[in-house]
Amino acid sequence: MKRRLVSWGVVLGMVCALILLVFVAVVERGGEAWRGITWGYGRLRWCTSWPEFCRTDRAELKVNFGIYDPQGGFLESRMMAVEHEYLLWDRFQEGDAKRFLESAGKKNRWLMITVEPWVVKPGEDMLAAVAQGDYDLLVDNICREIGELDKPVFLRWGQEMERVTGRYPWAVPDGEKYIKAFRYFVNKCRGWVKEGYYVWSPAGDKGLENYWPGADVVDYVGLSVYQLPAWDQDNFGKVRSFGEVVGEKYPRVERYEKPIMVAELGVTGSKKFQRGWMEMALGEMGNFPLLKTVVYFNAKDSEGAWEEKYGVPDWHIASEVFD
């Protein structure tokens, strides 16, 4: 009995010593200590269970943040430097761009406009029509209005073009068609917009290189990063972190030596999961030197964007996650 008591005493002492060491490490190094300790024990699972232990010091972040926020959940957020809006050019009305800029200006944010070139005339080859000038009046009207605002603006045209799923009419197997239309739009728009920064924005998938329009018409490269846990489990057998997702896409675009933005970011799940996933993401962003801006998509997705079994993901997130 005495021997057993001695044994348990040793074990208890070791446990207490370990707890003390962890406590000292946290005091000395803050959240970084916890991040180091949890690498070998499923860091993502740890962070999504106890987000407070994975918090990243916001003062250390080297990226700007932006938001697409149609419901206004981030109206008061001071962390957002960019306001993102979508302009569907088949529905364009005079004053749309002015309204976007006024909204961004009230919050002291830069404006990013994603111009979606939907087909105006049913059945036409839209990309070919753009490249041969059939859409000149529409392009001129849009770009003239943006130019008259006389403010810097990111212009993102025809996103996720390498995903040929039938969702977007500009996402076609023939990369050359897309390239000609993209180049035509940028060169046409430059005649109106003095401070336009043009964003070529693939999803980040294999084959994106077939749609590269050339360094002379691209100022930023955009990527799309969405975390839908059920989809990840079905396709990868696990839920991936921001670093894993971007780590797959980043090498495909860093060769272009342009600043990179995540033009669309979303994560769905419980509030605790979202917060933990984002805390880990914030800590991983510094691993990608060309990454300069991250824009969150704070809305529900479009109908049919994902397979039916996944429903319509809701990417809404609490603004406090970024504070």
CA distances from 54 to 37, 154, 220, 222 (A): 11, 32, 30, 27
Q: What pLDDT is recorded for position 50?
A: 75
At residue 19, does pLDDT exceed 60? Answer: no
The answer to whether the beta carbons of residues 170 and 161 sit under 8 Å apart is: yes
Residue 248 dihedral angles phi and psi, to the nearest 5°: -80, -35
CA distances from 4 to 1, 7, 11, 61, 143 (A): 5, 5, 11, 52, 82
Quickly state the pLDDT bin for 46 (edges 50, 70, 90).
confident
Q: What pLDDT is recorded for position 125?
A: 97
The answer to whether the beta carbons of residues 79 and 322 sit under 8 Å apart is: yes
Q: What pLDDT is recorded for position 9?
A: 54
Cα dihedral sign for 220, 221, 226, 227? negative
Q: Is the pLDDT higher at 76 or at 5?
A: 76
Give Cα 150 to chain centroid, integer Å.
Answer: 26
Mean pLDDT in residue range 125-148? 97
Tell the burial category of 274 from Cβ atoms under 10 Å away from its Cβ (0-12, 13-18, 19+): buried
The answer to whether the beta carbons of residues 62 and 109 sit under 8 Å apart is: no
Quickly state the pLDDT bin for 258 (edges 50, 70, 90).
very high
Quickly state the pLDDT bin for 45 (edges 50, 70, 90).
confident
Q: What pLDDT is recorded for position 12?
A: 55
| Nearest one of 286, 271, 284 to 241, comparing CA atoms | 284
DSSP reduced 3-state for 227:
strand
CB half-sphere exposure, 132, CA atoms < 13 A: 8
At residue 25, does pLDDT exceed 60? Answer: no
Q: Is the pLDDT higher at 289 or at 32?
A: 289
Q: What pLDDT is recorded for position 236?
A: 95
Quickly state the pLDDT bin for 55 (edges 50, 70, 90).
confident
In the chain, what percentage of residues exceed pLDDT 90? 79
Rounded to whole angstroms, how far apart are CA atoms 13 and 8? 8
Q: Is the pLDDT higher at 13 or at 196?
A: 196
Tokens of 321: 């996650």
Helix 2-29, helix 31-38: angle, nearest 10: 130
The answer to whether the beta carbons of residues 264 and 313 sit under 8 Å apart is: no
| Nearest one of 92, 148, 140, 83 to 115, comparing CA atoms | 92
DSSP reduced 3-state for 302:
coil
Rounded to whole angstroms, how far apart are CA atoms 147 and 190? 9
β-bridge partners, 220: 199
- Helical (H) or strand (E) element with 126: helix 126-131
Q: Is the pLDDT higher at 49 or at 128?
A: 128
